[in-house]
Structure 1
Amino acid sequence: MTTDDSRVSLRRMLRRLTASEAEIEAQELLRVSAESGGMPAGQCRGGQLVSVAGRLRTVVYTPRTNLPTLEADLYDGSDVVTLVWLGRRHIAGIEPGRHLTARGRVALRDDRKVIYNPYYELEPSR
């Protein structure tokens, strides 16, 4: 191992030791997302057709008189994308803490990234 390699390794180890739990979780989610072929949510722009992977933080059913919706916030370590299923009250496996990959076109709603009726694949429980 060269001196430069050992310095890089030492920096990496020190960064990991001083990082907060949230920073470590974000780094791990970004790594898993990249391995799944997902685009970082922080790089997604309105109108893009994307594949994003991460962990569901929240899942909320919104009863509306004309069209009920199920909304889930997907976090990949860089940003959040809200997944919205129109006309759905519940979807088996869509629950907080679950890892999944979602594909669809990004829309912007109130300056938030949203994918309506995404195609999704549930990842095995970790």
Structure 2
Amino acid sequence: MSTDERTGLRRFFERLTASEEELDAQELQRDSAKCGAMPAGQCHRGEVVSVSGRLRTVAYTPRTNLPTLEADLYDGSDVVTLVFLGRRSIAGIEPGRQLTARGRIALRDDRKVIYNPYYELEAPR
């Protein structure tokens, strides 16, 4: 058996035994790479990045001085929280929606955050 055949067979068995979450993460990583986005797992504080993935959660946080809408974007490698300052809701920003976001990575409580990102919604699947 050649090296290519062994590699193909190994990938087949990995897909066969992978959980739904692992398969979903792999698909998200492939989609993210196709659109030229940086994997969230490789983003570092201070970098201006483009990340692409699926919104896991969206939550409105009422605060006395500045309300925020926060959305967790997962690309299969890590999560980046998108924080929209002064917003209660945004049309299309909802759990399960695919989007690409651009902005500068910051850290808040050791979590990656982009404040007021530029974003593009993907067409619903």
Instruction: Provide TM-score, normalisation by structure 1.
Output: 0.97
Q: 1:117 corresponds to which residue?
A: 116
Q: Percent identity?
A: 77
Provide the C-alpha distance between the structure 1 equivalents of 2:111 and 2:69, rounded to a whole number of angstroms: 16
Q: How many residues align?
A: 125
Which residue type is aligned with residue 117 of structure 1? Answer: N
Instruction: Provide TM-score, normalisation by structure 2.
Output: 0.98
CA deviation after TM superposition for structure 1 residue 121, in Å: 0.2
Q: 1:26 corresponds to which residue?
A: 25
Which residue type is aligned with residue 15 of structure 1? Answer: E
Which residue type is aligned with residue 59 of structure 1? Answer: V
Provide the C-alpha distance between the structure 2 equivalents of 1:62 and 1:109, rounded to a whole number of angstroms: 15
**After the TM superposition, which segments of 4 or more aligned residues of structure 1 sit over 4 Å from their partners?**
none
Is residue 6 of structure 1 aligned with residue 2 of structure 2? no
Provide the C-alpha distance between the structure 2 equivalents of 1:108 and 1:3, rounded to a whole number of angstroms: 47
Task: Structure 2: state its 5+ residue gaps.
Answer: none
Provide the C-alpha distance between the structure 2 equivalents of 1:70 and 1:36, rounded to a whole number of angstroms: 25
Task: Structure 1: state its 5+ residue gaps.
Answer: none
For 1:55, what is the secondary structure of its paired residue? Answer: strand
CA deviation after TM superposition for structure 1 residue 112, in Å: 0.2
CA deviation after TM superposition for structure 1 residue 120, in Å: 0.1
CA deviation after TM superposition for structure 1 residue 85, in Å: 0.3
